[in-house]
Amino acid sequence: MTLHIIDWLIIVLFLVLILGVGLTFTKQAGKNVESFFLGGRNLPWWIAGTSMVATTFAADTPLLVTELVAQSGVSGNWLWWNGLIGGMLATFFFAKLWRKANIITDVELTELRYSGKAAAFLRGFKAVYLGIFMNAVIIAWVNVALGALLTVFFGIPENQLIFYLAGAMFVVMLYSSLSGLLGVAVTDFIQFIVAMTGCIILAIVVVNSDQIGGIVGLQEKLPAATFNFFPSIELSMQSLVETTQVLSISLATFLAFIGVQWWASWYPGAEPGGGGYIAQRMMSAKNEEHALKATLFFQIAHYALRPWPWILVGLCAIVLYPDLSATDKKLGYALAMRDFLPTGLKGLLLVAFFAAYMSTISTQLNWGTSYIVNDLYHRFLRPNATQKQLVMASRLNTFLLMLVALIVTTQIQTLESVFKFMIECGAGLGAVLILRWYWWRINAVSEIVATIAPFIVFTLIKLYTDLAFPYSLFITVSFTTIAWIIATFLTQPTDLQVLKNFYIRIQPDGFWKPVTKHLSIRAKKSQIPLLLTGWLLGIGLGYACLFGLGKLIFADWQGATIYGIIAIICLWGINKVLKNNDFL
C-alpha cells in the first residue's frame, strides 16, 4: 500500500516532535543514576501514571485483543482483565512501600530485605534474567507485532523487516539513552494521547462503515453471546457468521483467572505486589501520595478506559474478515486500518502504533538497563564507579540491550514456546513477592525456591501428562506454594539486623513482632483494615467503569446506570480512605 504525502508528513512530524521532547532532558538525566533511572524522584502522579499506561500499550496489544475477541468473544479478555485485582492490591498495599524503600530498582530490594550469599545470588540472578533475557524476549515480541503491521501496510518482505525494525529501535534508543526516565515519561504522555486518539478514531470509522452499520448493525451480525462480559457456561463452539466461530472461555478458566492467576503468577508489568517498570514509576513519583495516585490512575485507565476501542474493532473484524485463519485472527485490526481509513487518518493511525511501540520499547530499554547497571555492574563489577561512569555505562548498555533484542527478534519463531514456558513458569512465585513485605519469616531461599519450583513442576506436567490450562495452573501453584513454605521453615531467617533496618525504613504492617520487639519504635495502629477497604473499593471502581462503559457503548442504559452508581459509590469510598489520617 502506498501512503499519501500527507500521511508521510504526519509520521515525520511526530518523530521529530518525540525526538525533540526526549532530547530536552539530556542534561538533567546525566546528573546521576537516580536522575537517569528515576527522573530525580520528582514525577507528578499524572505523568507517572500515564507513563505506566503508555508502556503497557505496545504495538501488539490491539492485535492481541483482536485475537482474543475472535476466539472467545468479549469474555476472552478475562485473560488480562483479571490483573485488575492484583493491580489494585499493588495500588493500596504496595505503592507507598516501594516509594519508601528509596532504592533504584525493585531487584535492589532483595538485599534490602534479605541477607547473606543467598540474597546476593538472587539479586545477580534477577538482574540477568529480567534485565537481559526476559527484557530481550519482550522487546522481540513487540518488534514482531510492529513487523506484522508494516507487512500489512507496506508489503515489506520478511527477510527485510529486521532492518526497518532496527531503524525504529535506533530512534527510540537514541532519546531513551540520552534523556533517561524523565524523557521517557514525558514522551510517554504525548505518545499515549496520540495512540488512544488514533484507536478511538479507527473504532468510530469501522463501526460506522457501511459493512457494519453502527453498533446496532454489529449486534445484529453477531450472536448475543459474543458480547457477554462474563463467560458462557456452555463449553461448545458457538457458530457466528458462516464459517467463523467463537469459543467462550470455560467457567474453570474464568475461576482460574480471578481466583488464582492474579496473585500467584508473575509477569513483567503485572507482578503481584508491584515490581518491574510499575515499581520504577512508583519510586520515581514525588512522594508516597503521588505514587499511590499514579498507580490508581494506571489501573483505571489500563483496564477500564483503554480496551473498548480495541474490542469494538476486534468484533468488527470477525464480521469483516471471516476467512482469516486462527493464527491470523490478530491481523484483523491491521487490515481494518488499511481498508477503512482515508488519507491523513492512515498516517495518524500509523503514528498511533509507532507511539505505542516507542513508549513500550523506551521503557523496556531504560528498565532493563537499570538492572544491568545498578544490580550487576555497580553491585558486583564496579562498586567504586562514580556517578558519571554509571551514567555513561547506562547509555552504553541501552545501546547493547537494543542489539541483543534485535538478535532475539530474528530468532523469535524458535523462541515462541520458550516465551510461553517462561510465562507459565511464573505461577506460584506471586505469594512470596506479596508476603515478603508483610511477614518477617520470608527469606531469600523462599524466593529462590518459589522461582525455581514452577519450572520443575511445569516441565513434569508437559512431559508426563496431558493436563492443560487451567488445571495445570492449579497444580503448579499448589506445588510451588508447598515447596517455598517448607524451604522457609527449613532455613534460617534473614539476619535480624537486616530485618530491623528494613522495618525502620519501610515500617510495614503485618507480622513483624519478632523484629519490632528488638526496636524502640512504638507500634502504630494497623492499617490493614483501611488497605483492604481501599483494595475492595478499587476493584469495584475498576470493574464498574469497565462494564459501565461497555454497557453505555452497547446502549444498555439500565446496565450503564447501575454500574455508574457503583463506580460513584466506590470513588466516594476511596476518597474517604485516602483522606484518613492513618492512611497517608
d(CA 189, CA 175): 15
Is residue 238's pLDDT more than 80?
no
User: Which band of pLDDT confidence, cut at 50, 70 and 90, is reported for residue 554?
Assistant: very high
Residue 238, helix vs strand vs coil:
strand
Tally of domains within the chain: 1
Q: Taking all residues of the chain, what is their mean pLDDT, rounded to a whole number?
A: 87
Q: In angstroms, what CA-CA distances link 518 with 493, 515, 551?
A: 15, 6, 55
d(CA 564, CA 46): 23
Phi, psi of 245 (to 5 degrees): -130, 155
Are the CB atoms for 136 and 400 separated by under 8 Å?
no
Over residues 458-480, the pLDDT tens digits come to 889 888 888 877 778 888 899 99
Most confident of 118-127, 180-189, 422-431: 118-127
Task: Name the burial class of residue 167, with classes exposed (0-12), middle (13-18) and buried (19+) by CB atoms within 10 angstroms of its CB.
Answer: exposed
Question: What residues contact 572, with CB distance under 8 A and at least 6 apart?
Answer: none
Is residue 233's pLDDT more than 80?
no
Give the pLDDT of residue 6. 82
Residue 511, helix vs strand vs coil:
strand
Radius of gyration for the chain, computed over Cα atoms and rounded to the nearest angstrom: 24
Mark residue 379 as left, alpha or beta (left: phi above 0; alpha: psi -120 to 50; beta: remaining): alpha
Phi, psi of 139 (to 5 degrees): -60, -40
Are the CB atoms for 175 and 22 separated by under 8 Å?
yes
Give the pLDDT of residue 302. 93
d(CA 439, CA 551): 42
d(CA 351, CA 330): 19
Of 116, 81, 112, 84, the closest CA to residue 98 belongs to: 112
User: Which band of pLDDT confidence, cut at 50, 70 and 90, is reported for residue 416?
Assistant: very low
Residue 564 located in a structural domain = no
Is residue 342's pLDDT more than 90?
no
Task: Name the burial class of residue 117, with classes exposed (0-12), middle (13-18) and buried (19+) by CB atoms within 10 angstroms of its CB.
Answer: exposed
Give the pLDDT of residue 268. 67
Residue 313 located in a structural domain = yes
- Tell me, what DSSP letter sits at residue 412? H
The four Cα atoms 70, 73, 74, 78 give a dihedral, to 10 degrees, of -90
Percent of the chain scoring above 90 in pLDDT: 48
pTM reported for the whole predicted model: 0.89
Question: What residues contact 577, with CB distance under 8 A and at least 6 apart?
Answer: 92, 530, 533, 534, 537, 583
CATH number for the domain spanning 109: value is 1.20.1730.10
d(CA 145, CA 160): 15
d(CA 239, CA 222): 9
Give the pLDDT of residue 2. 61
d(CA 353, CA 361): 12
- How much is the average pLDDT of 403-423? 68
Over residues 513-553, the pLDDT tens digits come to 999 988 887 767 788 999 999 999 999 999 999 999 999 99
Q: How many helices (H) and strands (E) does the chain have?
A: 29, 2
Range in 235-249, 330-344, 540-554 the model is least confident about: 235-249
d(CA 139, CA 401): 10
Phi, psi of 243 (to 5 degrees): -95, 0
Is residue 247's pLDDT more than 50?
no
Give the pLDDT of residue 244. 41
User: Which band of pLDDT confidence, cut at 50, 70 and 90, is reported for residue 255?
Assistant: confident
Residue 284, helix vs strand vs coil:
helix
Is residue 434's pLDDT more than 80?
yes
- How much is the average pLDDT of 250-277? 78
Over residues 132-178, the pLDDT tens digits come to 988 888 888 888 888 877 887 777 777 788 888 888 888 888 888 88
Residue 195 located in a structural domain = yes
Give the pLDDT of residue 428. 85
Is residue 451's pLDDT more than 60?
yes
Give the pLDDT of residue 570. 97
Residue 27 located in a structural domain = yes
User: Which band of pLDDT confidence, cut at 50, 70 and 90, is reported for residue 412?
Assistant: low
d(CA 239, CA 74): 15
The residue type at 550: G
The four Cα atoms 280, 284, 288, 292 give a dihedral, to 10 degrees, of -60
Is residue 209's pLDDT more than 70?
yes
Cross-strand partners of 265: 427
Residue 252 located in a structural domain = yes
Residue 296 located in a structural domain = yes
Cross-strand partners of 245: 239
- How much is the average pLDDT of 290-303? 95
Residue 188 located in a structural domain = yes
Map grid coordinates 492512611 to a residue: 583
Higher pLDDT, 472 or 211: 211
Domain ranges, residue 68: 5-413
Residue 372 located in a structural domain = yes
Of 261, 209, 241, the closest CA to residue 70 belongs to: 241
Question: What residues contact 270, with CB distance under 8 A and at least 6 apart?
Answer: 83, 86, 87, 278
Read out DSSP for 2-45?
Answer: PPPHHHHHHHHHHHHHHHHHHHTTHHHHTS-HHHHHHGGG-B-H
Is residue 292's pLDDT more than 80?
yes
Residue 550, helix vs strand vs coil:
helix
Are the CB atoms for 477 and 428 separated by under 8 Å?
yes
Percent of the chain scoring above 70 in pLDDT: 93
Instruction: Give the H or E element holding residue 444.
Output: helix 444-464
Cross-strand partners of 285: 43
d(CA 391, CA 404): 20
Give the pLDDT of residue 583. 66
| Biggest CA pair distance of the chain | 73
